[in-house]
Amino acid sequence: MKSHFLKIASIQHACTPKYADNLQTTEELLERAAEAGAHLVLLPELHTRPYFCQEAHPSYFDWAEPIPGPSSEKLQQLAARLNLIIVGSIFEKRTTGVYHNTAVVLDRDGSFKGLYRKMHIPEDPGYYEKYYFTPGENTTQPGTAFTPITTSLGKLGVLICWDQWFPEAARLMALSGADILLYPTAIGWDPRDEANEQQKQLEAWQTIQKSHAIANHLPVIVANRCGFEENPSDTETGIQFWGHSFICGAQGEILAQTTDSQSTLICAEVDLIQTDTLRRIWPFFRDRRIDAYAGLSQRTINYTRHE
Amino acid sequence: MKSHFLKIASIQHACTPKYADNLQTTEELLERAAEAGAHLVLLPELHTRPYFCQEAHPSYFDWAEPIPGPSSEKLQQLAARLNLIIVGSIFEKRTTGVYHNTAVVLDRDGSFKGLYRKMHIPEDPGYYEKYYFTPGENTTQPGTAFTPITTSLGKLGVLICWDQWFPEAARLMALSGADILLYPTAIGWDPRDEANEQQKQLEAWQTIQKSHAIANHLPVIVANRCGFEENPSDTETGIQFWGHSFICGAQGEILAQTTDSQSTLICAEVDLIQTDTLRRIWPFFRDRRIDAYAGLSQRTINYTRHE
């Protein structure tokens, strides 16, 4: 069942080494979201922990939890108490030796609506995610790994951080009926990079996510981590998580954003009917050349026609 | 053979009902591009004619030309005389009853390097392109319709106007080895739309094309038509082509742009090696989930998992 207007909040927060403190921050910001009249709230990636992926160390697997488990159950309780749809992020222990970077969706009555396991896993100096996270799998028929999660107020196309750089992921969510795209995120600067390079990275990150709104005529909500976190291994300089969470409408127009990097909350009302209006005026979905897209399932395309 | 730096020009120009006048404008701007030291020049969509697709009338098929034909041969001569790679746009008559919206690529020695026939064809009030243009076909193996054209200075991922809204097209060009993405364009405002709506459309158009640079780590060059053209059928209000041609680098950063809507030329030097540098730091191509993208070849994806 689709609402016309949906009041959405994005929570941006810094994370400390203490689980209880982080959960307390989350709870306070969720309470503020409820007071602001939000129906749906997005939390940043792995919001109960420091960004442990800065180093690869087996001890961090202690922090993984089953789903349902303490964090998901706590979020369910908060969803019910505050009458909010909550999209949270959990370091999931699925079974011994299988861990995921997982988003969970809890409805306003506290019911568990579904989960999404991060499909695109980064691995760079300071972001050792391939060490920790088994990629989400393509379990059923082709393409259905990117499946929106149905809630009482619409279908949520939940993706996670690195997924945001892949237009394929957003498109598959849209083709599967998503009403909105959501990106819990933990991205930041290497403090050694120059200001000009940092600015280019930030703008690229904003642009690519706005483009998913535009290409698919869907509102997009982004919740990023903020604050500086030292690298515990001391081999890198740490990460300045850049905040700048935002909510944009289905033409990519900014509805709410924060330009600072403090823990904060932003809210906007999105119009879910706008998607239908825009798809009539700009009928991209009519014109997709599905006869000619098979190459998208290739790693590279070799050709000889012009060489 | 790939150059490190390539000086690129985008020509923005208005078009009149007179073929010879339009060609004269094109020639003068190409001469200016050569004087500015450009190696490669992109012309706007269908630059030898007014935008006849504002109405559907069989008489306009008289304007279609074979390739090779007068316009492509004229552009070949100019390419050789000015020592420029020229990407031009032609209303192509392929055979009786088969017409295309086609881009041609001429190398600096005047040789014909290849053509691209527009794959995504719009059809909206005032843009009756499905009436005129047979879509480019997927002639060889899957995906190869979107094949870059090899020149003496790099592989050109030439796409045309409406193609710019489809991340799939840019991605397929990138997977096929494009060094740069090029979008000859004819897009404008309906003068009846409010300024706020016009601004949102313009920004969406800029954002989606910058996003192709970002997603694929390729420079993008856009040449738009400018000027107001009345609707000859008098059933619509005509189109104010919005200009705003631009060139951006492989992080989506603007290198050159024009904010006015006069006939003009913009130039920028793009660094083709930047693509390699960026793909090491942001390895999107390593992480594409090609096992899970089959749904991109579907019109919509039906699912039952969550309903």
Q: Which of A207, A214, A289 sits opposite B214 (nearest CB)?
A: A207
End-to-end CA distance of chain A: 53
CA distance linking residue A10 with residue A264, whole number of Å: 9
**Chain B residues close to A305, C-beta within 8 Å:** 140, 144, 147
Closest by Cα among B183, B255, B168 to B215: B168
CA distance linking residue B84 with residue B106, whole number of Å: 8
pLDDT band at B237 (very low <50, low <70, confident <90, very high): confident
Contact B293 A297 (CB under 8 A): yes
Q: Residue B166 pLDDT > 50, yes or no?
A: yes
Establish whether B118 is a catalytic residue: yes
Contact B144 A298 (CB under 8 A): no
Which residue matches tokens 């959501």?
Answer: A182
Sign of the alpha-carbon torsion through A180, A137, A79, A150: positive
Q: Residue B95 pLDDT > 60, yes or no?
A: yes
Sign of the alpha-carbon torsion through A62, A67, A71, A74: negative
Q: How far is CA A226 from CA A7, A183, A210, A241, A292, in A?
A: 23, 15, 20, 4, 41
pLDDT band at A140 (very low <50, low <70, confident <90, very high): low
Please tell me which residue of chain A has the smallest CA distance to B253. Answer: A200
Domains in chain A, please, with CATH? 5-282 (3.60.110.10)
Cβ count within 10 A of residue B90: 27
Partners of A102 in the beta sheet?
A90, A117
**Chain B residues close to A288, C-beta within 8 Å:** 120, 166, 168, 299
Which residue matches tokens 């991922």?
Answer: B157
Average pLDDT over residues A146-162: 95
pLDDT tens sequence across B6-40: 999 999 999 999 999 999 999 999 999 999 999 99
**What three-state secondary structure class fits A115?**
strand
For the stretch A188-210, what's the b/e string if a residue is b when 16 or more beta carbons lie within 10 angstroms of its beta carbon?
bbbeeeeeeebebbbbbbbbbbb
Contact A297 B294 (CB under 8 A): yes
pLDDT of residue B89: 98
Q: Which two tokens stand for residue B278?
A: 């960026």
Average pLDDT over residues A256-267: 91
Q: Residue A280 pLDDT > 80, yes or no?
A: yes
CA distance linking residue B135 with residue B123, whole number of Å: 12
Q: Residue B306 pLDDT > 70, yes or no?
A: no
Q: How far is CA A141 from CA A119, A146, A196, A243, B304, in A?
A: 15, 11, 44, 36, 11
Q: What are phi and psi of A289, to 5 degrees?
A: -90, 70
Q: Which of B150, B301, B307 sits opposite A175 (nearest CB)?
A: B301
Distance from CA of A140 to the nearest CA of B (A): 9
From the candidates B45, B65, B92, B129, which is the catalytic residue?
B45
pLDDT of residue A3: 59
Closest by Cα among B128, B123, B124, B119 to B146: B119
pLDDT of residue B233: 81
Q: Residue A88 pLDDT > 90, yes or no?
A: yes
Lowest mean pLDDT among A166-175, B219-228, B230-239: B230-239
Q: What are phi and psi of B176, to 5 degrees?
A: -90, 5
Distance from CA of A174 to the nearest CA of B (A): 8
Q: Residue B255 pLDDT > 90, yes or no?
A: yes
Sign of the alpha-carbon torsion through A5, A7, A12, A15: negative
Establish whether A118 is a catalytic residue: yes
Identify how many contiguous H helices and E strands chain B contains and give both numbers: 7, 15
Q: Quote the Cα angle for B293-B296-B302, to 5°.
A: 100
Please tell me which residue of chain A has the smallest CA distance to B217. Answer: A204
User: Residue A135 carries which DSSP code?
Assistant: P
Checking DSSP bridges between strand B239-242 and strand B226-229, what pairing results, if any?
Answer: antiparallel
- Report field, pTM of the whole predicted structure over 0.90: yes
pLDDT tens sequence across B107-133: 999 999 999 999 999 999 999 999 999
pLDDT tens sequence across B207-232: 999 999 999 999 999 999 999 999 98
Contact B49, B19 (CB under 8 A): yes
Q: Residue A145 pLDDT > 90, yes or no?
A: no
For testing the chain A interface, which of B192, B209, B288 should be mutated: the one with the most A CBs within 10 Å? B288
Which residue matches tokens 């030309």?
Answer: B65
- ipTM value: 0.95
Query: Mean pLDDT across chain A, nearest whole number?
Result: 94
More confident residue, B142 or B297: B297
Contact A295 B135 (CB under 8 A): no
pLDDT band at B140 (very low <50, low <70, confident <90, very high): low
* Sequence-ordered strand ranges (E) for chain A: 5-12, 40-42, 85-95, 98-106, 112-117, 149-151, 154-158, 180-185, 188-189, 220-224, 226-229, 239-242, 246-248, 254-257, 264-271
**Chain B residues close to A201, C-beta within 8 Å:** 251
- B142 close to A (CB below 8 A): yes
Q: Quote the Cα angle for A12-A242-A78, to 5°.
A: 15
**Chain A residues close to B134, C-beta within 8 Å:** none
Position B173: which residue type?
M
Contacts of A138 (CB under 8 A, 6+ apart): A144, A145, B289, B291, B292
Give how far the C-alpha of residue A284 lies from the chain's centroid of Cα atoms, to the nearest Å.
24
Cβ count within 10 A of residue B160: 27
Average pLDDT over residues A131-158: 85
From the candidates A53, A161, A226, A248, which is the catalytic residue?
A161
- B297 close to A (CB below 8 A): yes
In chain A, pLDDT over 90 holds for what percent of residues?
Answer: 90
Closest by Cα among A51, A52, A64 to A91: A64
Average pLDDT over residues A164-189: 97
Q: Which two tokens stand for residue A5?
A: 């207007």
Closest by Cα among A39, A34, A43 to A3: A39
Average pLDDT over residues A212-232: 97
For the stretch B262-286, what's the b/e string if a residue is b when 16 or more beta carbons lie within 10 angstroms of its beta carbon?
ebbbbbbbbebebbeebbeebebee
DSSP states along B240-290: EEE---EEE-TTS-EEEE--S-SSEEEEEEEETTHHHHHHHHS-HHHH--G
